[in-house]
Amino acid sequence: ESKVSTAAPVKIAVTGAAGQICYSLLFRIASGSLLGDTPIELRLLEITPALKALEGVVMELDDCAFGNLVNIEIGDDPRKVFDGVNLAMLVGAMPRKAGMERSDLLSANGAIFTAQGKALNDVAADDVKVLVTGNPANTNALIAQQNAPDIPAERFNALTRLDHNRAISQLAAKVGRPVGEITHMTIWGNHSATQYPDLFNAKVGGQNAAELVGDQEWLEHTFIPTVAKRGAAIIEARGLSSAASAANATVEHMRDWVLGTPEGDWVSMSVPSDGSYGVPEGLISSFPCTVKDGKYEIVQGLELNEFSRAKIDASVAELVDERNAVTELGLI
């Protein structure tokens, strides 16, 4: 008896497919970490000189004989690769090197997202969801969104799930409890060194995390910088930016966006602001979000003390600066 499903496959576009994040990401997607047993088709975009390497990655995907991977298409033309796609993971962009901030990549990477935004606008499926991982992720997502006027604005997200997971892991280690006991973590603001991982609303086994830690010195001078500068620490140690953990976070963000967040908890997602928590409307900033039936909502009514307010304002100010910079570059 055949085990092959007859349902139409979900078409998933992934860019930068021959790069290091995708060397982990594609295999996670294809093995079912993203959509479980749902049949999928992969649409892989690369620049022309990387297509040969991508053919090698496709050979390896073939060699895994993944049961739910129905088809793989590759190419260097976003208008062909994005045709009819339901999910788009925009990973392809240059990573920073030691000594750079992610925003230093704006002019190098910004143009990628104008072209891809336009192509998605013209050829993606009506239900397309777009998640940007390539840095600077928040502002690249804004560029893609602004170049895709026919796609509802809220379908453009950026990745701060890696920061969220880093924050959970650091907190769990500090309090000596399993990561599974940490809930209600929030990253606010930009995926950058100004991001604000919030322990005042986080919980450990239902207890307030900041109270349990009881150490403002650690929170301010160890926890926040460790999480915010973790990307740089990995570049320093590996000589390359994070890849497997970035792929994991990309899968988790998209999976939760499609299938929903766990009951009684939230996750951090960079989404277009509706003005919540004083974040200017339209900026793609990280918020606590819940998802139901494929639609996310920003969690409302959280209390922000003065410390949190100042941290969020600083990160949001950086997002405003980045938006101004790409406006000046003519990218939006």
- Which residue ranges make up the annotated binding site for substrate? 96, 102, 135, 166
Question: From the CB of 297, what's the least distance to ligand NAD, in Å?
Answer: 22
* Choice between 148 and 246, CB closer to ligand NAD: 246
Residue 269, token pair as written in the block: 């997602």
Where does 147-296 have alpha helices with state H? 161-175, 209-213, 216-218, 224-228, 230-238, 244-259
* Choice between 283 and 304, CB closer to ligand NAD: 283
Whether 177 and 212 have beta carbons less than 8 Å apart is answered as: no
How many residues belong to the chain? 332
Among 28, 43, 102, 129, binds ligand LMR (CB under 6 A): 102
Considering CB distances under 5 to 8 angstroms, the limit depending on partner class, which of ligand NAD, ligand LMR, none binds residue 45? ligand NAD
Considering CB distances under 5 to 8 angstroms, the limit depending on partner class, which of ligand LMR, ligand NAD, none binds residue 111? none
* Choice between 172 and 232, CB closer to ligand LMR: 232
List the interface residues with ligand LMR, window 123-162 (CB under 6 A). 135, 162
Considering CB distances under 5 to 8 angstroms, the limit depending on partner class, which of ligand NAD, ligand LMR, none binds residue 247? none
Residue 226, token pair as written in the block: 């460790």
Binding piece for ligand NAD, criterion CB under 6 A, among 90-98, 211-219, 311-319, 324-332: 90-98
List the interface residues with ligand LMR, window 231-250 (CB under 6 A). 231-232, 234, 241-242, 246
Name 286's bridge partners.
189, 270
Identified catalytic residue from 164, 184, 191, 253: 191
* 253 belongs to the catalytic site: no
Binding residues: 16-22, 96, 102, 109, 116, 133-135, 166
- If DSSP codes are grouped into helix, strand and coil, which group holds residue 210? helix
Return the percent helix, strand and coil in the chain, to nearest 5: 45, 20, 35
Binding piece for ligand LMR, criterion CB under 6 A, among 46-54, 75-83, 226-234, 258-266: 226-234
Question: From the CB of 264, what's the least distance to ligand NAD, in Å?
Answer: 26
Interacting residues of 121 by C-beta distance below 8 A, sequence separation 6+: 147, 148, 149, 150, 151
Whether 68 and 37 have beta carbons less than 8 Å apart is answered as: yes
Among 45, 185, 224, 316, binds ligand NAD (CB under 6 A): 45
Interacting residues of 204 by C-beta distance below 8 A, sequence separation 6+: 171, 172, 175, 177, 181, 182, 212
List the helix and strand counts (H, then E) for the chain: 12, 14
Q: Taking the CA atoms of the chain, what radius of gyration do you get in angstroms?
A: 19
Question: From the CB of 212, what's the least distance to ligand LMR, in Å?
Answer: 26
- Beta strands, E only, 96-181: 129-132, 156-158
Give CA separation, 250 vs 32, 277, 328, in Å: 14, 25, 30
Considering CB distances under 5 to 8 angstroms, the limit depending on partner class, which of ligand NAD, ligand LMR, none binds residue 255? none
* Choice between 93 and 291, CB closer to ligand NAD: 93
Question: From the CB of 190, what's the least distance to ligand LMR, in Å?
Answer: 11
Question: From the CB of 99, what's the least distance to ligand LMR, in Å?
Answer: 11
Considering CB distances under 5 to 8 angstroms, the limit depending on partner class, which of ligand LMR, ligand NAD, none binds residue 15? ligand NAD
CA distance 227 to 208: 19
Considering CB distances under 5 to 8 angstroms, the limit depending on partner class, which of ligand NAD, ligand LMR, none binds residue 50? ligand NAD
Residue 248, token pair as written in the block: 């994991």
Kindly list the residues in this chain that would bind ligand LMR in the complex (CB under 6 A): 95-96, 102, 135, 162, 231-232, 234, 241-242, 246
Mind telling me the catalytic residues? 191
